[in-house]
Amino acid sequence: MLSMLAKLLKALNSESAPGQIALAFSLALIVALTPLMSVHNALIVLLAFILRINLSAFFLGVAAFSLLAWFIDPYAARLGESLLANPALVDTWQAMYQNDFWRMTAFNHSLVLGGLIIGLLAAVPVFVLSKVLINLYRHRLLAWFNKLKIAQVLKASKFYNLYKSIAE
Protein backbone atom coordinates (compact mmCIF):
# COMPACT_ATOMS: atom_id res chain seq x y z
CA MET A 1 0.00 0.00 0.00
CA LEU A 2 2.91 2.35 0.84
CA SER A 3 4.60 1.65 -2.50
CA MET A 4 1.37 2.47 -4.30
CA LEU A 5 1.09 5.79 -2.46
CA ALA A 6 4.76 6.62 -3.26
CA LYS A 7 4.10 6.05 -6.94
CA LEU A 8 1.20 8.41 -6.77
CA LEU A 9 3.25 11.14 -5.06
CA LYS A 10 6.02 10.77 -7.66
CA ALA A 11 3.50 11.44 -10.37
CA LEU A 12 2.09 14.41 -8.44
CA ASN A 13 5.45 16.15 -7.99
CA SER A 14 6.82 15.54 -11.44
CA GLU A 15 6.12 19.13 -12.51
CA SER A 16 6.07 22.16 -10.28
CA ALA A 17 5.20 25.27 -12.24
CA PRO A 18 5.00 28.57 -10.26
CA GLY A 19 1.25 28.68 -10.72
CA GLN A 20 0.94 25.20 -9.28
CA ILE A 21 2.75 26.17 -6.12
CA ALA A 22 0.86 29.46 -5.85
CA LEU A 23 -2.43 27.62 -6.21
CA ALA A 24 -1.28 25.22 -3.48
CA PHE A 25 -0.79 28.17 -1.14
CA SER A 26 -4.16 29.66 -2.07
CA LEU A 27 -5.97 26.42 -1.35
CA ALA A 28 -3.95 25.94 1.83
CA LEU A 29 -5.09 29.36 3.01
CA ILE A 30 -8.76 28.40 2.72
CA VAL A 31 -8.19 25.11 4.56
CA ALA A 32 -6.25 26.84 7.32
CA LEU A 33 -8.79 29.58 7.94
CA THR A 34 -11.73 27.17 8.40
CA PRO A 35 -12.24 24.19 10.72
CA LEU A 36 -10.34 21.25 9.24
CA MET A 37 -13.12 18.68 9.46
CA SER A 38 -15.59 20.19 7.05
CA VAL A 39 -16.99 19.21 3.68
CA HIS A 40 -15.48 22.09 1.71
CA ASN A 41 -12.03 21.25 3.06
CA ALA A 42 -12.48 17.67 1.87
CA LEU A 43 -13.29 19.06 -1.55
CA ILE A 44 -10.22 21.34 -1.45
CA VAL A 45 -7.98 18.44 -0.48
CA LEU A 46 -9.52 16.48 -3.33
CA LEU A 47 -8.75 19.41 -5.63
CA ALA A 48 -5.21 19.54 -4.30
CA PHE A 49 -4.78 15.90 -5.22
CA ILE A 50 -6.44 16.10 -8.62
CA LEU A 51 -4.96 19.39 -9.78
CA ARG A 52 -1.34 19.27 -10.63
CA ILE A 53 -0.17 21.45 -7.73
CA ASN A 54 2.72 21.04 -5.35
CA LEU A 55 1.38 18.95 -2.46
CA SER A 56 4.36 19.67 -0.29
CA ALA A 57 3.70 23.38 -0.68
CA PHE A 58 0.03 22.74 0.03
CA PHE A 59 0.63 20.93 3.34
CA LEU A 60 3.32 23.41 4.33
CA GLY A 61 0.95 26.22 3.48
CA VAL A 62 -1.77 24.68 5.65
CA ALA A 63 0.63 24.51 8.59
CA ALA A 64 1.87 28.07 8.05
CA PHE A 65 -1.52 29.64 7.51
CA SER A 66 -2.91 27.82 10.57
CA LEU A 67 -0.61 29.99 12.66
CA LEU A 68 -2.03 33.03 10.93
CA ALA A 69 -5.55 31.67 11.49
CA TRP A 70 -5.02 31.73 15.26
CA PHE A 71 -5.06 35.54 15.01
CA ILE A 72 -7.73 35.78 12.34
CA ASP A 73 -10.28 33.26 13.72
CA PRO A 74 -12.01 35.63 16.20
CA TYR A 75 -12.60 38.17 13.43
CA ALA A 76 -13.66 35.42 11.04
CA ALA A 77 -16.17 34.07 13.57
CA ARG A 78 -17.52 37.57 14.15
CA LEU A 79 -17.88 38.10 10.41
CA GLY A 80 -19.70 34.78 10.04
CA GLU A 81 -21.98 35.65 12.98
CA SER A 82 -22.92 39.00 11.44
CA LEU A 83 -23.56 37.44 8.04
CA LEU A 84 -25.76 34.71 9.51
CA ALA A 85 -27.71 37.31 11.45
CA ASN A 86 -28.00 39.71 8.55
CA PRO A 87 -31.74 40.22 7.89
CA ALA A 88 -31.13 40.50 4.16
CA LEU A 89 -29.55 37.05 4.10
CA VAL A 90 -31.66 35.25 6.68
CA ASP A 91 -34.13 33.95 4.09
CA THR A 92 -31.25 32.52 2.09
CA TRP A 93 -29.75 30.87 5.12
CA GLN A 94 -33.14 29.48 6.11
CA ALA A 95 -33.68 28.02 2.66
CA MET A 96 -30.21 26.46 2.68
CA TYR A 97 -30.81 25.14 6.21
CA GLN A 98 -33.71 23.03 4.96
CA ASN A 99 -31.33 21.12 2.68
CA ASP A 100 -29.17 18.36 4.15
CA PHE A 101 -26.32 18.96 1.70
CA TRP A 102 -25.94 22.61 2.61
CA ARG A 103 -26.28 21.79 6.27
CA MET A 104 -23.49 19.23 5.90
CA THR A 105 -21.28 22.06 4.65
CA ALA A 106 -21.71 23.70 8.06
CA PHE A 107 -22.50 27.00 6.37
CA ASN A 108 -24.41 27.96 9.54
CA HIS A 109 -21.25 27.74 11.62
CA SER A 110 -19.94 31.23 12.18
CA LEU A 111 -16.25 30.33 11.88
CA VAL A 112 -16.77 28.17 8.80
CA LEU A 113 -18.68 30.89 7.00
CA GLY A 114 -16.46 33.76 8.14
CA GLY A 115 -13.23 31.82 7.52
CA LEU A 116 -14.40 30.66 4.10
CA ILE A 117 -15.36 34.18 3.05
CA ILE A 118 -12.01 35.59 4.17
CA GLY A 119 -10.18 32.61 2.65
CA LEU A 120 -11.92 32.96 -0.71
CA LEU A 121 -11.38 36.72 -0.79
CA ALA A 122 -7.72 36.33 0.16
CA ALA A 123 -7.09 33.36 -2.13
CA VAL A 124 -6.77 35.42 -5.32
CA PRO A 125 -4.31 38.01 -3.90
CA VAL A 126 -2.35 35.19 -2.29
CA PHE A 127 -2.28 33.32 -5.60
CA VAL A 128 -1.04 36.39 -7.53
CA LEU A 129 1.46 37.38 -4.88
CA SER A 130 2.76 33.85 -4.52
CA LYS A 131 3.17 33.47 -8.26
CA VAL A 132 5.11 36.72 -8.54
CA LEU A 133 7.32 35.76 -5.65
CA ILE A 134 7.86 32.27 -7.06
CA ASN A 135 8.79 33.63 -10.41
CA LEU A 136 11.28 35.99 -8.80
CA TYR A 137 12.75 33.56 -6.37
CA ARG A 138 12.00 30.18 -7.94
CA HIS A 139 15.30 28.64 -7.41
CA ARG A 140 15.90 30.22 -4.00
CA LEU A 141 12.50 29.15 -2.82
CA LEU A 142 12.97 25.50 -3.84
CA ALA A 143 16.41 25.42 -2.31
CA TRP A 144 14.97 26.90 0.87
CA PHE A 145 12.18 24.41 0.88
CA ASN A 146 14.53 21.47 0.45
CA LYS A 147 16.49 22.71 3.41
CA LEU A 148 13.46 22.75 5.63
CA LYS A 149 13.51 20.31 8.51
CA ILE A 150 10.16 18.85 7.66
CA ALA A 151 11.41 18.13 4.10
CA GLN A 152 14.51 16.49 5.54
CA VAL A 153 12.44 14.46 7.92
CA LEU A 154 10.23 13.36 5.09
CA LYS A 155 13.28 12.49 3.01
CA ALA A 156 14.71 10.46 5.88
CA SER A 157 11.51 8.47 6.25
CA LYS A 158 11.02 4.94 4.91
CA PHE A 159 8.16 6.25 2.88
CA TYR A 160 10.41 8.81 1.06
CA ASN A 161 13.08 6.18 0.43
CA LEU A 162 10.45 4.01 -1.08
CA TYR A 163 9.18 6.98 -3.09
CA LYS A 164 12.77 7.79 -4.23
CA SER A 165 13.47 4.22 -5.25
CA ILE A 166 10.29 4.18 -7.24
CA ALA A 167 10.98 7.63 -8.72
CA GLU A 168 14.44 6.54 -9.88
Partner 1 sequence: MKQWIRWSGLAAFIVISLIVAALFLFVAGPLIEKGIETFGSDAADAKVEVDSVSLSLNPLGFVIHGLTVADSRKPMSNVLQLDTATAELELAPLFLGKAIIRDLAVDNLQFNTARTTSGALEKKAAQEETVAEQTAEKENNNSVLKNVELPSADDILARESLRTEHAGNEFQQSYASHKNAVDNALRNVPDDKALSQYEQELKVLTSGSFKSLDDFKARKKKLDELKARFKQDKAAIASARKTLADARSDISDKLKALKAAPGDDLKSIRSKYQLNAGGAANMSALLFGEQAGEWAEKALYWYEKVKPYLAKDEQENAAQETARAPRDGRFVHFPSADPWPGFLLRNAQLTANTASGNLLINAQDITSEPSVLGRPTRILVNGSGLKQVEDMSVDIVLDHRKTPGTDTLTLNIKDWQLRDMNLGVAGAKLASSLVQIQGLAVVSQGKLNAKSDAQFGRAQFRSQGKTTFAKELGLALEKVQQFDVNASASGKITGPDFKLGSDLDKQLNAAFGARLKDKQAELEAKLQAKLDQKLQRYIGDYAGKLGEFNQLEGTLEQRLSKVSQLAGQNLEDYQAQKEREAREKSEREKAEAKAKLDAEKAAAKAEAERKKKEAAEKAKDKLKKLF
CA–CA separation, 130 vs 15, rounded Å?
A: 17
Q: By C-beta, is 17 or 142 nearer to partner 1?
A: 17
Least distance in Å: CB of 110 to partner 1?
4
CA angle 42, 13, 118 (to 5 degrees): 40
Question: How far lies 76's CA from each of 35, 64, 101, 124, in Å?
Answer: 11, 17, 23, 18
Neighbours of 133 (CB within 10 A): 16
Least distance in Å: CB of 82 to partner 1?
11
2 binds partner 1 (CB under 8 A): no
Contact set for partner 1, span 78-137 (CB under 8 A): 78, 80-81, 84-85, 90, 93-94, 97-98, 100, 103-104, 106, 108-112, 114
Least distance in Å: CB of 26 to partner 1?
14
Q: By C-beta, is 104 or 143 nearer to partner 1?
A: 104
